[in-house]
Structure 1
Amino acid sequence: MFERGIEIKTPAQIESMRKAGRVVASTLDVLRGSAVAGITTAQLDAIAHDHIRSQGATSNFLGYHGFTGVICTSVNDQVVHGIPGTRVLRDGDIISIDCGAIVDGWHGDAATTVAIGEVPDEVTELMRVTEEALWRGIAAAHLGGRVSDISHAVETTVDAAGDYGIVEGYTGHGIGSAMHQPPNVPNYGKAGRGPKLVKGLALAVEPMVTLGAPDTRTLADDWTVVTTDGSWAAHYEHTFTLTDAGAWVLTAIDGGEARLAELGVPYGGH
């Protein structure tokens, strides 16, 4: 069922999204262990491709508007949509890995940022702040609330942590029978605005935060987005939904139960 272009899923359809989310979660878990100095981004892509297939799922990235990978691999000043290729990861790099999967026609989408060896403290903190903003955004969501409650929580978390840039040109999104659906979920804005948060709505929340200015440009490959000032960026993402009991993070291995408990938020999964 769609309401104003927004897809509302049945409980059975949400269960299928959870299956896709588990595949995404396990794939990212494998990739965290594989992302070491000396490996190429294409090799990481091959590992992801094999794992997704081994789980009986298919990639929703491969072939999407001509994209050639099953993951996005964005290194250092690359914010999002980096294409896997010959780049070799080196000690001191960071890489944001965005991954999606489809099970029974239903989609999951998540991203994480991984440090390769030792990175400066300011980069470690950038990663921590970005991931914290993601979870604070999810924690701000409740039935009857509004989409921008999430946006506001992301923004205030980042702003309170220091002088960071919040990328505004790329947002979270609705997700379900397609990877990208209405509504957009910006990473900034006032609370209490936008579509109402209801049962059956699934959203992908994905803050992208920089050490410098938030401005970006797209490289000649028409995919890779980089910061215009060369500052490094982090990117984290989860797909979640709301039940009568609380939030359920479909792309977290434990459904988000542990992190939500830390934030004092009811867990809505099973």
Structure 2
Amino acid sequence: MTRPNDQARLAVLIDADNAHAKYLQALFVEVAKFGTASVRRAYGDWTTNQLRSWKDTLLDHSVQPIQQFSYTQGKNATDSALIIDAMDLLHTGTVDGFCLVSSDSDFTRLAARVREQGLTAYGFGERKTPKPFVAACDTFVYVENLVAPETPEETIDRSEWKHDPKLDSLLKEAVTTAARDDDWATLGEVGSNLSRLASDFDSRTWGFSKLKDLMGAHPSYEVSHQSNGEGRQSTVMVRRKPAKRRR
């Protein structure tokens, strides 16, 4: 049985060797957007000083630490333990998706396997995360986006816009695909297209908390609100600005 998104049961599996405790609170706030974190585990060798900073944070968020000794140098026992537990959970049928927290490409195949099974794979990692792991997830969130940006979005306007070829290409494809005959597209459809085109698309990467604000600041697009009648919420529309005619 498919549950509503806010009731989706998620397994949050953290590779503590390749994640930072300072992001944990913000991470669970983000996870709550996708469902309920019914399983919360963090894997690592907790006897080492390297993971000492995790202790209080794990308790605060009811995360179960899973001890995994590093028996052999050069072999990542933590990754293996996490993957084995994930496969066990996958076959129990008790969760609807996995939140894999790591910046390690070793979880690429696991993310793909989760999707093959018909479940949702969410990835969380730093911007240095290898692209294969990012692409293997349905949605990938860069943990740097979970903290407040150094430059508030209110200070960014069209005159200061710095073009990013990747972003420009994604927006053009997403808007063009969703556009109606009059060239306008609903923001919701554009957002869905962006998620399909790039699992790591996130307006926060460019300093905006919402897609609407990003589109409104981009010099090549305009945003409008379409009325749906009295008492009903308006629909946010977006389109590429028409090319200026030469005189």
**TM over 0.5: same fold?**
no
- Between Structure 1 and Structure 2, whose CA radius of gyration is higher? 2
Give the structure with the higher percent helix.
2
The structure in which a higher percent of residues are strand is 1
**Greater length-normalized contact order (CA 8 Å, ≥ 6 residues apart):** 1
TM-score, normalization: structure 2?
A: 0.23
What's the TM-score, normalizing by structure 1?
0.22
